[in-house]
Amino acid sequence: MREPDGLFPSEAALPLMTDLYELTMAAGYFVARRRPRAAFEAFVRVLPINRSFLVAAGLEQALQYILDLRFNGQAIDWLRAQRAFARLPGEFFEYLRGFRFGGDVWAIPEGTVVFAEEPLVRVEADLIEAQLLETYLLTCLNLQTLVASKATRIVTAAAGRPVVDFGARRAHGPQAGLLAARGAIIGGAAGTSNVEAARRLGVPAVGTMAHSWVMAFADEAGAFAAFCEVFPDQTVCLIDTYDTLRGARTAAQTLGERLQGVRLDSGNLLELSRQVRRILDANGAAQAKIVASSDLNEFAIRELLAAGAPIDSFGVGTDMVTSRDAPALSIVYKLVATREADQGWRTVIKRSQDKATWGGRKQVWRQYGTDGRAARDVLGLAEELREGEPLLQQYIAGGRLIAELPDVARLAERARRQVGSLPEPTKELRGTYAYPVQVSEALRTAQPTLAE
Amino acid sequence: MREPDGLFPSEAALPLMTDLYELTMAAGYFVARRRPRAAFEAFVRVLPINRSFLVAAGLEQALQYILDLRFNGQAIDWLRAQRAFARLPGEFFEYLRGFRFGGDVWAIPEGTVVFAEEPLVRVEADLIEAQLLETYLLTCLNLQTLVASKATRIVTAAAGRPVVDFGARRAHGPQAGLLAARGAIIGGAAGTSNVEAARRLGVPAVGTMAHSWVMAFADEAGAFAAFCEVFPDQTVCLIDTYDTLRGARTAAQTLGERLQGVRLDSGNLLELSRQVRRILDANGAAQAKIVASSDLNEFAIRELLAAGAPIDSFGVGTDMVTSRDAPALSIVYKLVATREADQGWRTVIKRSQDKATWGGRKQVWRQYGTDGRAARDVLGLAEELREGEPLLQQYIAGGRLIAELPDVARLAERARRQVGSLPEPTKELRGTYAYPVQVSEALRTAQPTLAE
């Protein structure tokens, strides 16, 4: 009987976790001896709906891939056995066997606010090396940038009340749960229910109880009492299994001062939170906090708080970990310049309809106003000298990591300060505000003419 | 300098890839000696927008988890070091050390059409064992069921033309790319660009070329010729890097009969495909197929084909692998019955507002009309005898796998036949059709009264 396959991605499988065309192009460049040095940049053309900025995230996982990418014998044997690869010269497979990334990587640090057209990552390397990174690098950047950006919206709406990630079961698979938790923490979530994410990222693991706990006992009072006995320091009772108001009364009367909190998970959260607050206060459980979950997002939270709902913290799952209203980000990875031996960089551009790109190796400078707020970004050529804070930093030089990687707590702190420094309209939850990103004259001038 | 962490989920981390509350509840049940046999069922309450059915998928990965779940020393040590767990009795950690799932699992086979309220999986086990599975099981079922269901819509719209998965870079991380590829194949995709998915699932790896290939050469003719030299059997040229029509002419004139196809990736695909078809036919490349990509989904494909676009196959990425219009599925896992030693099953239900559930261990029978089409499903108690095909089958008995797991080709064939047997209105891409799911009298009668 065949053993079921969990479809875990492993480090051994890194070379094949890519689109086929990256490998056929690599072979093609090799055989055609087309190996200039190449500069690729990853950026978003257009921001998703209702977003005026993004929070960059996912770079650490992309760097792990770039540094660790090797072609083991298993991968090479598999490739050679494919019809498309069968006729390739043995030298190509020897090349793969010795492959390791030897180029340079520049990137905007995780936790930094970014806008459309701004390169999140620039890779400069032998054309094959740079090409091979595309698919995996994008899959790392896309998800976490999406979730970190979504999380800042939810955290903004919660106005200081803690938001925790409850999304493990709705994320797009087990690894997506880990990656989304990381994005959520960078975007400001105070903790996660995902235990492995908490362990690996060193952030608080949080949780209450499920309906099944309540249903497994003869009655609610017994269920609540039993939980408190085992976990006296974190007795947050789920009170909506049968009737929320009755559940609140039962929890307060059963546990009194020992009740740390209650969780509401269905119904009209505004009305219920008000009534539950009154019940807790009137039954000796004034200290108990109210946690709300149940398909929450930034809009629902803002409405609840605007109406004065006495909710102390929010558990957000589906909407945050899938960035439900904008579940895909189209970061693209485009060749922007090539350099032949003994020559300078040659700018290249793509002109596809509605998908044209700015050629040339770029840098982004952020300029601040006298109030300390971000006033504008300048998108220019990397070799320009412009005023402001250059956002792209070098992470890998000649294939080696040369930058310290901060932990997620520091990345979250960076994101918090970055979002705080934005002009207020940028942070509106609906509509978009065109934060000024100016294209430098030098960058414009460097574009090849249409006659090419 | 800290090494970057790729956040791979590993089999060693299985016990912690869950929500914290599964572990606290497990400890609570253990300490409270609340260990009845429990039956949990996983089901969807409401189908996502524009869906009248779902295609079940993801069971194999859930079974892998259930069979392989162990608590290794590293996981146990970590748990013991957490404040919430520090005071638990040592017996609980001994229990975890010896843990392995010893219960029964029933499920609807992957590739089967399912409707709201129908249990995709039923777990019957010691309460702790059944509870612990929740989070991971749901994360497996949610994504693949979502993607398989989305893929059937796209494949239906393509009306016989091959659809291939181009989504690796937009999936929610590397593993999500693998899982989504599997879902897409079950839902009818003819291949995937994801090499590791192709290798592990034994399905065709497909791909063309990227814009960077074209841009890395002095001109398009040189780029196309170089590719054909290396891959004469699969020369599909990407022709929109500069100007699609000029690209088509260049490809046809450069390669003639050797041109296997061209890919359109931007612009008005209807107009361009018509003009490109003419150019190819007039320039000695009548054999060349037209592949279209560029943010396609079921609606865009249907419109293109209805207007007569001469497109031979479709590469679909973002919309399929993220199920973009409905990127989250809310499969829930609910306790439906408990059984104390020497007693019968006791039905339990949850009554939360808008989230009430049917208690009792259930089976689904599908009844077919004389035309061979599915006519209705009956949702009843597992012990009932009803007419029709019982959909839930036993996969695990006493902790052991007892069913053969088909490969994805057979699952895709099953899904194809299942979708084919549905009433036509069920397959409409917009709106919903209420396929009849009848609740048996015995199931209604088995529900506990509100007085409980």
Report the relative pairing of strands B393-397 and B104-107 from DSSP bridges. antiparallel
Cβ count within 10 A of residue A1: 9
CATH architecture of A33-68+101-146+329-445: Alpha-Beta Barrel (3.20)
How close B368 comes to chain A (CA, Å)?
A: 31
Distance CA B143, CA A403 (A): 36
Report CA-CA distances (Å) from B220 to A157, A250, B248, B254, B281. Answer: 50, 74, 10, 9, 19
- What are A226's two structure tokens? 């039993």
Residues of chain A positioned with their CB less than 8 A from the CB of B11: 6, 8
| pLDDT tens figures, B193-228 | 999 999 999 999 999 999 999 999 999 999 999 999
Report CA-CA distances (Å) from A279 to A208, A270, A283, A397. Answer: 20, 14, 6, 62
Q: Shortest CB distance from A354 goes to which of B195, B212, B266? A: B266
Phi, psi (deg, nearest 5) at residue B305: -70, -35
Sorting pLDDT into bands at 50, 70 and 90, what band is A451? very low
Cβ count within 10 A of residue B100: 12
Q: What residue of A is the nearest CA neighbor of B131? A: A212
Q: Shortest CB distance from A195 goes to which of B20, B174, B205? A: B20
Instruction: Report pLDDT for B318.
Output: 98
Beta-bridge mates of residue A378: A365, A438
Q: What residue of A is the nearest CA neighbor of B405? A: A2
Helices marked H in A159-297 — which ranges? 174-186, 195-201, 211-215, 220-230, 244-255, 269-282
- Name the burial class of residue B429, with classes exposed (0-12), middle (13-18) and buried (19+) by CB atoms within 10 angstroms of its CB: middle
Q: Across the interface, do B199 and A78 touch by the CB < 8 Å criterion?
A: yes
Q: Across the interface, do B322 and A40 touch by the CB < 8 Å criterion?
A: no
Q: Shortest CB distance from A21 goes to which of B36, B207, B355? A: B207
Q: What residue of B is the nearest CA neighbor of A203? A: B82
Q: Shortest CB distance from A139 goes to which of B31, B174, B324? A: B174
Compute the average pLDDT of residues A201-208.
95
- What are B256's two structure tokens? 């003639």
Sorting pLDDT into bands at 50, 70 and 90, what band is B2? confident
Q: What percent of chain B has pLDDT over 70?
A: 99
Q: Shortest CB distance from A324 goes to which of B205, B206, B328? A: B328
Q: Is B81 on the interface with A (CB under 8 A)?
A: no
Q: Is A95 on the interface with B (CB under 8 A)?
A: no
Q: Shortest CB distance from A195 goes to which of B18, B193, B217? A: B18
Q: Which amino acid would we find at residue A72?
A: N
| pLDDT tens figures, A100-147 | 999 999 999 999 999 999 999 999 999 999 999 999 999 999 999 999
Q: Of 3.40.50.720, 3.20.140.10, 2.70.70.10, 3.30.1330.10, which CATH number belongs to B11-146+327-445?
A: 3.20.140.10
Compute the average pLDDT of residues A233-237.
94
Name the residue with tokens 């599925």. B329
Residues of chain B positioned with their CB less than 8 A from the CB of A36: 216
Name the residue with tokens 């099981």. B137
Name the residue with tokens 């029509």. B245
* SS3 (DSSP) at A255: helix
| pLDDT tens figures, B367-412 | 999 999 999 999 999 999 999 999 999 999 999 999 999 999 999 9
Q: Is B17 on the interface with A (CB under 8 A)?
A: yes
DSSP string for B382-415? TT---SSEE--EEEEETTEE-S----HHHHHHHH
Phi, psi (deg, nearest 5) at residue B290: -110, 120
Residues of chain B positioned with their CB less than 8 A from the CB of A177: 17, 139
Instruction: Report pLDDT for A446.
Output: 94
- What are A383's two structure tokens? 């070799």
Instruction: Report pLDDT for A176.
Output: 98
- What are B376's two structure tokens? 């209705």
Q: Is A387 on the interface with B (CB under 8 A)?
A: no
Sorting pLDDT into bands at 50, 70 and 90, what band is B22? very high
CA B115: distance to chain centroid? 15
Residues of chain B positioned with their CB less than 8 A from the CB of A334: 211-212
Residues of chain A positioned with their CB less than 8 A from the CB of B348: 215
Distance CA B16, CA B5 (A): 17
Mutate to test the interface with A, among B352, B395, B396, B404 (most CBs of A within 10 A): B352
b/e B309-336 (16+ beta carbons within 10 angstroms → b): bbbebbbbbbbbbbbbbbbbbbbbbbbb
Q: Across the interface, do B138 and A65 touch by the CB < 8 Å criterion?
A: no
Residues of chain A positioned with their CB less than 8 A from the CB of B230: 24, 27-28, 31-32, 88
Instruction: Report pLDDT for B450.
Output: 57
- What are B22's two structure tokens? 């599964």
Cβ count within 10 A of residue B348: 24
Phi, psi (deg, nearest 5) at residue B394: -85, 130
How close B178 comes to chain A (CA, Å)?
A: 7
Distance CA A292, CA A279 (A): 16
Cβ count within 10 A of residue A358: 21
∠ CA A417-A422-A425, nearest 5°, is 140
Q: Across the interface, do B244 and A404 touch by the CB < 8 Å criterion?
A: no
Report CA-CA distances (Å) from A50 to A153, A326, A367, B49, B378. Answer: 10, 9, 24, 21, 43
Nearest Cα neighbor of B302 from B424, B164, B429, B166 is: B429
Q: Is A177 on the interface with B (CB under 8 A)?
A: yes
Q: What residue of A is the nearest CA neighbor of B78? A: A199
When the pLDDT of each residue in chain A is averaged and rounded to a whole number, the result is 96
Cβ count within 10 A of residue B346: 13
- What are A427's two structure tokens? 């942070």
- Do the beta carbons of residue A266 and residue B355 sit within 8 Å? yes
> Residue A124 belongs to what H/E stretch?
strand A121-126
| pLDDT tens figures, A74-99 | 999 999 999 889 999 999 999 999 99
Give B55's DSSP letter.
Answer: E
Q: Do domains B11-146+327-445 and B155-321 have the same CATH topology?
A: no
How long is chain B?
452
Q: Is A327 on the interface with B (CB under 8 A)?
A: yes
Cβ count within 10 A of residue A95: 15
Beta-bridge mates of residue A366: A377, A389
Rg over alpha carbons for chain A, rounded to the nearest Å, is 26
How long is chain A?
452
Q: Across the interface, do A4 and B352 touch by the CB < 8 Å criterion?
A: no
Compute the Cα dihedral for B396, B398, B400, B404 and give only its sign.
Answer: negative
Residues of chain A positioned with their CB less than 8 A from the CB of B335: 211-212, 215-216
- Domain residues of chain A, as ranges? 33-68+101-146+329-445, 153-321
Sorting pLDDT into bands at 50, 70 and 90, what band is B451? very low
- What are A290's two structure tokens? 């109210």
Q: Is B140 on the interface with A (CB under 8 A)?
A: yes
Mutate to test the interface with B, among A169, A200, A203, A246 (most CBs of B within 10 A): A169
Q: Is B299 on the interface with A (CB under 8 A)?
A: no
Query: Is the per-residue pLDDT at A233 higher than 60?
Result: yes
Distance CA A13, CA B204 (A): 18
How close B206 comes to chain A (CA, Å)?
A: 6
Rg over alpha carbons for chain B, rounded to the nearest Å, is 26
Q: What residue of B is the nearest CA neighbor of A332? A: B169
Instruction: Report pLDDT for A231.
Output: 95
Phi, psi (deg, nearest 5) at residue B262: -130, 155
Q: Across the interface, do B169 and A40 touch by the CB < 8 Å criterion?
A: no
Tally C-beta pairs within 8 A across A and B: 399
Q: Shortest CB distance from B19 goes to which of A88, A136, A193? A: A193
Report CA-CA distances (Å) from A190 to A237, A416, A447. Answer: 20, 12, 45
Q: Across the interface, do B68 and A355 touch by the CB < 8 Å criterion?
A: no
| pLDDT tens figures, B94-126 | 999 999 999 999 999 999 999 999 999 999 999
The dotted CATH code for B155-321 is: 3.20.20.70
How close A368 comes to chain B (CA, Å)?
A: 31
Report CA-CA distances (Å) from A99 to A171, A372, A399, B281. Answer: 34, 46, 11, 42
Give residue B100's region: left, alpha or beta (phi > 0; psi -120 to 50). Answer: beta
Helix B174-186 and helix A174-186: axis angle, to 10°? 140
Distance CA A231, CA B28 (A): 8
Sorting pLDDT into bands at 50, 70 and 90, what band is A11? confident
Instruction: Report pLDDT for B452.
Output: 43
How close B67 comes to chain A (CA, Å)?
A: 9
Helix A298-306 and helix A269-282: axis angle, to 10°? 50
A-contacting residues in B 145-164 (Cβ below 8 Å): none
Distance CA B26, CA B19 (A): 12
Instruction: Report pLDDT for B400.
Output: 98
Beta-bridge mates of residue B237: B262
- What are A395's two structure tokens? 């992470």
B-contacting residues in A 222-261 (Cβ below 8 Å): 226-227, 229-231, 233-234, 240-244
Q: Is B127 on the interface with A (CB under 8 A)?
A: yes
- What are B144's two structure tokens? 């693949």
Instruction: Report pLDDT for B353.
Output: 72
- Do the beta carbons of residue A88 and residue B230 sit within 8 Å? yes
- What are B61's two structure tokens? 């990965």
In the Cβ-directed half-sphere of A186, how many Cα atoms lie within 13 Å? 32
Q: Shortest CB distance from A172 goes to which of B88, B171, B267? A: B171
Q: Across the interface, do A266 and B354 touch by the CB < 8 Å criterion?
A: yes
Distance CA B185, CA A40 (A): 32
Residues of chain A positioned with their CB less than 8 A from the CB of B21: 193, 207-210
Cβ count within 10 A of residue A10: 15
CATH architecture of A153-321: Alpha-Beta Barrel (3.20)
Q: What residue of B is the nearest CA neighbor of A224? A: B28
Q: What residue of A is the nearest CA neighbor of B351? A: A242
Phi, psi (deg, nearest 5) at residue B189: -65, 145
Instruction: Report pLDDT for A450.
Output: 57
- What are A44's two structure tokens? 């978003």
Q: Which amino acid would we find at residue A175?
A: Q
How close A355 comes to chain B (CA, Å)?
A: 7
Name the residue with tokens 């007693």. B343
- What are B185's two structure tokens? 């194949």
| pLDDT tens figures, A330-379 | 999 999 999 998 899 999 988 877 777 899 999 999 999 999 999 999 99
Q: Is B206 on the interface with A (CB under 8 A)?
A: yes
pTM comes to: 0.97
B-contacting residues in A 41-80 (Cβ below 8 Å): 60-61, 63-65, 67-68, 78
b/e B173-186 (16+ beta carbons within 10 angstroms → b): bbbbbbbbbbbbbb
